[in-house]
Structure 1
């Protein structure tokens, strides 16, 4: 199994820096998990995928 891109220790540091989720009065699509979004960003930056 490969090493995770965002370790639990790193995630604990990042969580307080995230903005709070504001309620959406008109509804809309629910947000994806913040940790998964960060993993996707790091994957693109590390691999060079356009």
Structure 2
């Protein structure tokens, strides 16, 4: 029973971890794009 209960919890934690990483990556990419657009606006 204990092993069966901990298995979905492990899977859920992995999903949460992966989701968090993907969200962080998206935020970083959007921030970089905004920075590039800002720099391009300054140079032109």
TM-score past 0.5 threshold = no
The structure that has the greater radius of gyration is: 2
What is the TM-score of this pair, normalised by structure 1? 0.32
Structure having the higher helix fraction is 2
Higher relative contact order (CA 8 A, sep 6+): 1
What is the TM-score of this pair, normalised by structure 2? 0.35
